[in-house]
A and B are shown apart, each in its own frame.
Chain A
Amino acid sequence: MIAELGLAALWIAATLSLMQLAFGGFALRADGEALLRTVRPVAVAQAVLVGIAFLCLILVFLRTDLSVALVASNSHSAKPFVYKFAGVWGNHEGSMLLWVTVLAIAGAAVALFERKLPQRTLIATLAAQAAIGLGFYAFLLFASNPFERLSPAPVQGNGLNPLLQDPGLAFHPPTLYFGYVGISIAFSFAVGALITRDVGANFARAMRPWVLAAWIFLTLGITAGSYWAYYELGWGGWWFWDPVENASLMPWLAATALLHSVTVLATRDALRAWTVMLAVVAFSMSMVGTFLVRSGILTSVHSFAVDPQRGFFILILLSLYIGGALMLFGLRVGTVREGATFEPVSREGALVANNLLLSTILGIVLVGTLYPLGVEAVTGEKLSVGPPYFNSAAGPVALALVAVMAAGPLARWRKDKAKAVLSRIAVPVLIAALALLGLMLFAPGLRILPLLGIVLAVGAGAASVAPLWKRNLRRTPLFTYGMVVAHLGIAVCLAGMASESAFTKETLVAATPGQTASVGPYQIRFDAVDPIAGPNWTANEATLTARRGSGAPFVMRPQSRMFSAPPTETSEAAIATRLDGQLYTVLGKSDEQGRWQLRLWWKPFVTLIWLGGSMIALGGLLSLIGRVRRGRREVAE
């Protein structure tokens, strides 16, 4: 019954999105005031219904109703409660339903809370949002129905991929989707403003909080995903340049560029056409990512099923939306007047440099991600593009971007003198030079990218707090603090990446219980391996006693787990976090002589990567609160 209810709710929601599109379209055409007023409630009702559908799917999973095909192939009655719940989106159909749910919620949020946008543009925006929704409802209902029944129902389900059986599953996908799909709002705003020819500073001020909100979620989702991969895979890496990771990074790069250009548009009414373009590109990247991940052309833990029909469907949707938006852009860009002008050396100039560099990185990542697919499609030759390419091509550009980030906020709007900017950044440059000197003296032989990374991180860290220098801290607006915290977060994150890459120590040994190994500053004694059991797995658990110099010893217990449904082994790393880094231990296999493989890493300051990521998101949150508050005050006045 519940499954049928969910399916019915989904169909009604799809019909409502068709109504939202049609009413919006007619209202704009005929100028019918009555129809204009219907669009907002329809958008809200659509979100409520798709929310009901999503709740139904959750219920079906919690009750392990095996007559539903999706539950049978992805769940198991012996699965712990939290994974029955989070397993809802740990599969293709469920994650697409989450996708559409987030899309509808974002649309409803705009319908409920957006007050700054002129009504006609708002209606056009909601119609655009409904148009996106319609395509993905069709995809769900015709090619990925999550509520399909199975007859006869099997006695037991297949279980969830053990790599996904982790608390991270409850947090990472919804957060990422709120960012990833939430950026659709920017797309719809851009389409709406192009339709009503309303691109200007007001439009940018209205769009900014929505972009910020989506960007915060995206930042958090990527940060969480990176940490999850780091501790769950047991490979000791935090970013693998996996196409699926790139699929989340590309919308983030575009959204970050958008966030900065929308500031120029809101403050100075410049970069009109460019900002609209970026809004289209940002969500296009989300759709490209959805295609890469959900079509099954890539094989990864994220792509749950290989079905060419689905890939083709998404590809068609993608071409329709991106093509349609670009065509609209091409037709209407002539009617977008040029904005205000500015000198090259100015805040606007720095923000343009930021946008160009971010776009360059986006291009590099996009080319590297699509190249293997293109080559295979054309020549049939198989190849992979991995970290060497991305690091060597995108790394230098990213460092240049950090340098611009350090100097940009210190330049004045409209017009500034290069000399004046240089004098404001003199102290951070001096600090960076000292860091360089220190590294060359005490850590000689560093590779060039990590070396520059640390130096730039130190300099950019100092420069990012410089905008607060000599200001009345209590009267400084909250969004300025937001910028400072986010930029500081970038510096902290970069410091973590560079330190991890420059100073990580690794030891790989085969040891019998009683033996000792060392990694970095730690001595690690291998005490024993014992069998243990969990709710749906058994494991070998090693007991290691780690000790740093003459400090207190502590115990670490890495495991090698065997899951029963589906039968799979995973390794659970044991990680000890210290102020200056993490000790990361993995238990491998045993051999005939009773030796066990142990892989040990000491990663100095690796935690800064995720601390920095969280600071970036926090900075976004501060800006968002600051902007919304000021907006309220303006409306009140």
Chain B
Amino acid sequence: MKAKNQRLTLLLLALGASLGAALLAMSALRDQAAYFYAPADIARKGVPVDRAVRIGGMVKDKSIVRAADGITIDFVVGDETPATIPVRFTGIAPDLFKENSGVVAEGKFRPDGRFVATEILAKHDENYMPPQLAGDKHKSGTLK
């Protein structure tokens, strides 16, 4: 093969690979990207069933209920609107998970509207605020 042709072949291969990567990535993203919902979004758009999503908001005062098994908790997430999301989580909640504090949870909605969290995202320290939540609170002007 002549050098020029070989260079062209390699260039086409490289283009093909990056195109393939982009296509593969895009199709996987459509299935796998987890969208973020605040309680108000759920109230407005309805419940996205059977899809990995993230929800975020404030844990409502006196809403944390521990189940008899000692590892399952139920709580309610709210935001500045009256909308709320009931959440169930089985596992060890992060250290700074508490009532009247911000939370972001990952999981799926059940058809009845309850959110089953597979993970509660850890807040790393007192100053840490999940960016989604910080953004929302900046908007509503409640961030101290």
- Any B CB within 8 A of the CB of A568: yes
Considering only residues 36-66 of chain B, those with a C-beta below 8 Å from chain A are 36, 52, 54, 66
What is the chain A residue whose CB lies nearest that of B122? A233
Interface-facing stretch out of A378-386, A484-492, A496-504? A378-386
Considering only residues 121-136 of chain B, those with a C-beta below 8 Å from chain A are 122, 124-132, 134-135
Residue among B21, B35, B128 making CB contact with A382, cutoff 8 Å = B35
**B106: chain A residues within 8 A (beta carbon):** 384, 386
State whether B95 touches A569 (Cβ < 8 A): yes
**B90: chain A residues within 8 A (beta carbon):** 508
Residue among B20, B25, B70 making CB contact with A510, cutoff 8 Å = B70
Report the minimum CB–CB distance from A570 to chain B (whole Å). 7
State whether B130 touches A364 (Cβ < 8 A): no
State whether A368 touches B69 (Cβ < 8 A): no
CA–CA, A334 to B24, complex, Å? Answer: 32
State whether B1 touches A341 (Cβ < 8 A): yes
- Any A CB within 8 A of the CB of B33: yes
Residue among A233, A383, A509 making CB contact with B34, cutoff 8 Å = A383
**A586: chain B residues within 8 A (beta carbon):** 92
Report the minimum CB–CB distance from A556 to chain B (whole Å). 16
- Any B CB within 8 A of the CB of A345: no
- Any B CB within 8 A of the CB of A367: yes
CA–CA, A566 to B123, complex, Å? Answer: 13
Interface-facing stretch out of A309-317, A321-329, A589-597? A589-597
Report the minimum CB–CB distance from A149 to chain B (whole Å). 23
**B130: chain A residues within 8 A (beta carbon):** 299
State whether A359 touches B14 (Cβ < 8 A): yes
State whether B95 touches A571 (Cβ < 8 A): yes
State whether A299 touches B131 (Cβ < 8 A): yes
Residue among B28, B34, B125, B131 making CB contact with A161, cutoff 8 Å = B125
B10-25: contact bitstring with A at CB < 8 Å (1 yes, 0 no)?
1001100110111011
State whether A383 touches B36 (Cβ < 8 A): yes
What is the chain A residue whose CB lies nearest that of B28? A393
Interface of A is mostly: mixed
- Any B CB within 8 A of the CB of A80: no
State whether B129 touches A299 (Cβ < 8 A): yes
State whether B96 touches A368 (Cβ < 8 A): no
- Any B CB within 8 A of the CB of A166: no
Residue among B2, B25, B93, B132 making CB contact with A364, cutoff 8 Å = B25
Report the minimum CB–CB distance from B140 to chain A (whole Å). 15
State whether B93 touches A566 (Cβ < 8 A): no
State whether B66 touches A591 (Cβ < 8 A): yes
Considering only residues 580-629 of chain A, those with a C-beta below 8 Å from chain B are 586, 588-589, 591-593, 595, 597, 599
Chain A positions within 8 Å of B, measured between CB atoms, are 161-163, 233, 271, 273-274, 297-301, 338-343, 352, 356-357, 359-364, 367-368, 371-372, 381-386, 388-389, 392-393, 397, 508-511, 560, 566-571, 586, 588-589, 591-593, 595, 597, 599
- Which 10 pairs across A and B sit closest by C-beta, in order of nearness? A510-B70, A569-B95, A363-B21, A338-B3, A382-B36, A588-B92, A389-B32, A367-B25, A393-B28, A360-B21
Q: 11 interchain pairs (CB within 8 A)?
A: A161-B124, A360-B17, A363-B17, A364-B21, A367-B25, A381-B35, A385-B29, A385-B32, A386-B34, A569-B95, A591-B70
For the complex with contacts A384-B33, A393-B25, A510-B71, 4 further pairs of A-B residues with Cβ separation under 8 Å are A298-B131, A338-B7, A356-B13, A570-B95
